[in-house]
Amino acid sequence: TQALLERAKANADLGAYLALDEETSLAQARAADERLAAGERAPLLGVPIAHKDIFVTKDFPTTAGSKMLEGYRSPFDATVVAKLAATGAVTLGKLNCDEFAMGSGNDNSAYGPVLNPWDKTRVPGGSSGGSSAAVAARLVPAATGTDTGGSIRQPASFTGITGIKPTYGRCSRYGMVAYASSLDQAGPMARSAKDCALLLSAMVGPDLDRDSTSLDRPVEDYAAALGLPLSPEATVAQPLKGLRIGLPQEFFGAGCAPDVLAAVHAALAEYEKLGATLVEIRLPRTELSIPAYYIIAPAEASSNLSRFDGVKFGHRAKDYADLSDMYKKSRSEGFGEEVQRRILTGAYVLSHGYYDAYYLKAQQIRRLIAQDFQSAFEQCDLIAGPVAPSVAWKIGEKSDDPVAAYLADIYTLPASLSGLPGMSVPAGFGSDGMPVGLQLIGNYFQEARLLGAAHHFQ
């Protein structure tokens, strides 16, 4: 813990951490030491981790990357934070992210951008860019992230680490600052599938009293499952024999950069060597996932973010004429440009006269996308493809063109809209030596299979 605190400070230029608290972290580390001295053994006992600043924490400030929450201190810990703390993991600090998790490059944070440790002129992905950069730069062995439309998978891909978004509802959303509640899901980001498995087992589980979408399913030991065969035909030499991997035609088209496709194909060739069979499948409504998501997510965000009114908590403007002026000024000052854009979009698509044309249509498309996956899973056990259509772009490259950033979410949004588990596994490198991730998507509750397929490849 001490060494990593120093490492975090020495690499402050990356912009990964928003809060460190040496005293708190060292006290937690000493408590873990005592548990170890008493003979307790547990995989995460004493292991330093860090949390995306979207999880509320009572021992550290929480900003959600927004000026709106500057100086905010939560009176309680998010369920995921509390569960990890209970295993004896030490909280090293809070990690930068796009404001309210809205973004793809961690360039929408009120506290400055995060740099990609592989090339500091590039983004680390987003919105969990502090998490991806910190793990990739070895500032911390593992971190939490959240994924609403790709924010665990895409930053993992851009920084050459492993990250998994479990089935929607598997991790409690209690204490996660809400962006789009029907999509938001927590997950781990780490160096390997095995580390992700250890964290994920500590993060999942029912929290029925506190999160109405939390699922009543027992915790699984994902790390123990890594050693189990994935199909009856598996052998030692070919541990993935019998596993059918579906390649959606729509993920391998002209929209994906050739260097990314080359790295993904090379990884898939390895999967074949491990015994997996590749089958071509269709996800015909892939393109529609972008308009559907960018209607549904802002709609939910406009509702969720209405709580930041400058009254109960959040930034409050200094000078105002009356109550409505106070709301206006506080929200104009507290929210960044992208957040305001989403609130306006969301309010528009939900408004009378537009609801049927936009929001309802988007919900119908969402259902069809989920059905397409169920048809695809009749032909395969897992789905694979790129995580993003390019390697990490240059900081600032997409800042003036929000739609360009939205389009880059094309391969992560379908699984998000369907609530399916997905992960990013380092596949290789693209142009300029930048990392490329392979995306694996499983059917509901197939996290163990995803992690197993990633583990055998790693």
Closest separation between CB of residue 83 and ligand GLN, Å?
21
As a whole number of angstroms, the distance between CA 276 and CA 274 comes to: 6
Whether 52 is catalytic? yes
Which of 50, 102, 200, 204 is the binder for ligand GLN (CB under 6 A)?
102
If one asks whether residue 297 binds ligand GLN (CB under 6 A), the answer comes out as yes
Instruction: Name which of 172, 185, 153 is nearest 217 in CA terms.
Output: 172
Which of 130, 149, 336, 346 is the binder for ligand GLN (CB under 6 A)?
149
Segment interacting with ligand GLN (CB under 6 A) among 147-155, 222-230, 237-245, 253-261: 147-155
Q: Which is nearer to ligand GLN, 147 or 195 (CB)?
A: 147
Q: Which is nearer to ligand GLN, 23 or 400 (CB)?
A: 400
If one asks whether residue 85 binds ligand GLN (CB under 6 A), the answer comes out as no
Give the number of residues in contact with ligand GLN, rule: CB under 6 A.
Answer: 13
Instruction: Name which of 294, 302, 296 is nearest 403 in CA terms.
Output: 294
If one asks whether residue 53 binds ligand GLN (CB under 6 A), the answer comes out as no
SS3 176: strand
As a whole number of angstroms, the distance between CA 128 and CA 344 comes to: 23
- Tokens at 149, concatenated: 């439309």
Whether 394 is catalytic? no
Closest separation between CB of residue 82 and ligand GLN, Å?
22
Q: Which of 109, 151, 157, 399 is catalytic?
A: 151
If one asks whether residue 19 binds ligand GLN (CB under 6 A), the answer comes out as no
Q: For strand 162-165 and strand 185-190, is the pairing parallel, antiparallel, or unpaired?
A: antiparallel
Closest separation between CB of residue 447 and ligand GLN, Å?
18
If one asks whether residue 381 binds ligand GLN (CB under 6 A), the answer comes out as no
Beta partners for 442? 382
Q: Which is nearer to ligand GLN, 150 or 421 (CB)?
A: 150
As a whole number of angstroms, the distance between CA 145 and CA 94 comes to: 11
Q: Which distant-in-sequence residues (6+ apart) come within 8 Å of 81 by Cβ?
A: 51, 55, 56, 57, 91, 144, 175
- As to burial, measured by CB atoms within 10 angstroms (0-12 exposed, 13-18 middle, 19+ buried), residue 337 is exposed
| Backbone phi, psi, residue 140, to 5° | -160, 145
- Residue 421 near residue 450, CB atoms below 8 Å: yes
Closest separation between CB of residue 10 and ligand GLN, Å?
29
If one asks whether residue 28 binds ligand GLN (CB under 6 A), the answer comes out as no
Segment interacting with ligand GLN (CB under 6 A) among 149-157, 194-202, 211-219, 320-328: 149-157
Q: Which of 127, 128, 302, 330 is catalytic?
A: 127
- Residue 166 near residue 219, CB atoms below 8 Å: no
- Tokens at 35, concatenated: 């548990």
Binding-site string for ligand GLN from residue 402 to residue 441, where x marks contact by CB under 6 A and - marks none: -------x--------------------------------
Which of 104, 131, 201, 424 is the binder for ligand GLN (CB under 6 A)?
104
Q: Which is nearer to ligand GLN, 24 or 151 (CB)?
A: 151
Which of 29, 49, 101, 283 is the binder for ligand GLN (CB under 6 A)?
101
Q: Which is nearer to ligand GLN, 127 or 192 (CB)?
A: 127
Which of 147, 195, 372, 381 is the binder for ligand GLN (CB under 6 A)?
147
DSSP letters, 309-350, are SSSSSS---S--SSHHHHHHHHHHHHS-HHHHHHHHHHHHHH
Torsion angle in degrees (nearest 10) through CA of 31, 34, 36, 40: -90
Whether 151 is catalytic? yes
Q: Is the omega angle on the peptide bond into residue 127 within 30 degrees of 0, that is, cis?
A: yes
CB-nearest residue to ligand GLN: 151
As a whole number of angstroms, the distance between CA 314 and CA 334 comes to: 8
- As to burial, measured by CB atoms within 10 angstroms (0-12 exposed, 13-18 middle, 19+ buried), residue 312 is exposed
Q: Which is nearer to ligand GLN, 276 or 297 (CB)?
A: 297
If one asks whether residue 163 binds ligand GLN (CB under 6 A), the answer comes out as no
Segment interacting with ligand GLN (CB under 6 A) among 25-33, 68-76, 99-107, 155-163: 99-107
Closest separation between CB of residue 42 and ligand GLN, Å?
30
- Tokens at 185, concatenated: 């899901």
- Tokens at 80, concatenated: 């995921």
When computed from its CA atoms, the radius of gyration of the chain, rounded to whole angstroms, is: 21
Instruction: Name which of 125, 107, 103 is nearest 116 in CA terms.
Output: 125
Residues marked active site are found at: 52, 127, 151
The contact set with ligand GLN (CB under 6 A) reads 101-104, 127, 147-151, 179, 297, 409
